[in-house]
Amino acid sequence: MSKYPDEQNILRDPRWEVTEAARRIQQALTRMGLCYETKDGHLVEVSYSRIGVVGDQYGLLEVDLQRLPRKVTVNKLAHRDTLHHLTAVVGKPVKKLNTTGLTYCVVLSPEPKGRLPKRVELDVDSRPPGEYMIPIGQGCQGAVWRSLLDTSHILVGGESRSGKSTWLNCLLAALLNVYGTDRLNVAIIDPKGVEFTAYAGIPHLVVPIAEEPKQAGEVTDWLMGEMNRRRRLFTGYFAKNLMTYNSRADKPLPLIVTVIDEVTDIALQCGLRSRFYTNLIRLASKAGSFGIILVLATQNPKAEVLNTLIKGNLSTRIAFRVATPEHSRTILGVSGAEKLSREIRGRMLARLDAELVELQGFLVNDAQIMALAERLGSRLTKPPLEPVERDLVAYAVEHLGGGFKIGELARAFAGDERTSAWHIRKLAERWEQEGLLTKPAHATAPRMVTPRLLSLLTR
């Protein structure tokens, strides 16, 4: 027998205390007359749309406002006298969480447990079995990994230096260490232009890393085209998802992971009626079924950008320390991430499996990322340089200290019919995207020749 009506619709919390508190609160509200009896004698009680737990310390009971009994209002349910009575009935403090709607917060008796670590190095060799597993964080009971096939699209938020970019790099490192280009492709939009430059030369990139709003729109255009192409392929094999298609097709398709950093800012730059934002909404609602996974990150979550059309399709949410309770609610649906320690970088609240858990993010340093990118980039089958390209590289090394200075190269080769200043500039931009030239350290600094570009001189 069900303990209380509508229990089948409740997302069960694994902790018995929360389930028991939910039952007692519902019974107490009914005894207080906060219910409704229909003409046929059916009793309509207050029910919940979700039950969850935060860090094993707080139980969250979200009241289903769409099914409130007649004449029962939120003000009555949240009145301080009601909360005082519920606290006495449950035997634990019951408060109203400051969120949209009505969510009761039950302060649980903390159980003996280990403390979360403050620093955890990513160990890709400890990856659990499963397809496309990514590291979420370290909990008190061990490392938490999830498959992208289960998480689908992901929303990651957090203020500057909270650990958000490191988490994204851990995700990419864990996948790139395991899968080749036949199983995994990557698209990256990096408005800041500094977070993901190490990946510019890896063979997994399906399009160059985008930094400008126009380029971001071009990336989402390509993804829309690929999604439509895959839709036609899936229809021919009666497949509803990537794994089913790959099990039936002669030529499997790779999973495409699309990382969009600072998605709020770039959406506002492009405009909420731009093709970038329109494409983003369509991709969030449909692309997951075709093996295109979005990982959206922002340090400035705004409800007008991350609205229900987008956020409703991002079932996995991760919040590092944020500035305000409103930012936490935009990411997680509840406040709390604003209370995370600023001193412990990487501490997060993650909504996984319909519950909130507190975790410590993994750490991967720049040297590890560079080593991975260099190893992957060395696999690229780059054709030998053209004679004029060899001469340009040799001149940059011998006369410009390895700096690929466009103006000086253009003057040095001014009489050479094989090239021009325009061609040198375009060549430099392409080589930078391929990782053969470094990104300028600042606005007036030149791109630098990389060891991989030098190695092509000997071919």
Domain CATH number, residue 438? 1.10.10.10
Confidence of residue 235 (pLDDT cuts 50, 70, 90): very high
Report which of 12, 23, 120 is spatially closest to residue 361, judged by C-alpha positions.
Answer: 120
Q: Indicate whether 377 belongs to any domain.
A: no
DSSP 136-190: EEEETTEEEEEEHHHH-SEEEE--TTSSHHHHHHHHHHHHHTT--TTTEEEEEE-
Provide the CB-side half-sphere exposure for 183 (13 A, CA).
Answer: 11
Does residue 320 surpass a pLDDT of 70?
Answer: yes
Residue 382's pLDDT is 55
CATH number of the domain where residue 174 is located: 3.40.50.300
Residues 180, 288, single domain; the answer is: yes
Per-residue pLDDT tens over the stretch 76-104 = 998 888 988 898 888 888 888 766 788 89
Residue 14's pLDDT is 43
Report which of 55, 41, 48 is spatially closest to residue 19, judged by C-alpha positions.
Answer: 48
Burial 249-259 (b: 16+ CB within 10 A, else e): eeeebbbbbbb
More confident residue, 280 or 6: 280
Residue 12's pLDDT is 39
Residue that has been written with the tokens 């340093």 in this structure: 365
Confidence of residue 56 (pLDDT cuts 50, 70, 90): low
Helix, strand, coil abundance in the chain, percent, nearest 5? 40, 20, 40
Per-residue pLDDT tens over the stretch 165-201 = 999 999 999 999 999 989 999 999 999 888 898 898 7
Residues 59, 155, single domain; the answer is: no
Residues 179, 303, single domain; the answer is: yes
Residues 164, 253, single domain; the answer is: yes
CB 336 within 8 A of CB 349: yes
Residue 293's pLDDT is 96
CB 48 within 8 A of CB 352: no
Q: Which domain holds residue 206?
A: 120-368
Report which of 114, 26, 37, 96 is spatially closest to residue 69, judged by C-alpha positions.
Answer: 37
Please identify, among 334, 368, 402, the residue that sits at the C-terminal boundary of a domain. Answer: 368
Per-residue pLDDT tens over the stretch 206-233 = 888 888 888 899 999 999 999 999 999 9
Instruction: Provide the domain count of the chain.
Output: 3
Residues 237, 271, single domain; the answer is: yes
Residue 431's pLDDT is 85
Does residue 154 surpass a pLDDT of 90?
Answer: yes
Residue 5's pLDDT is 38
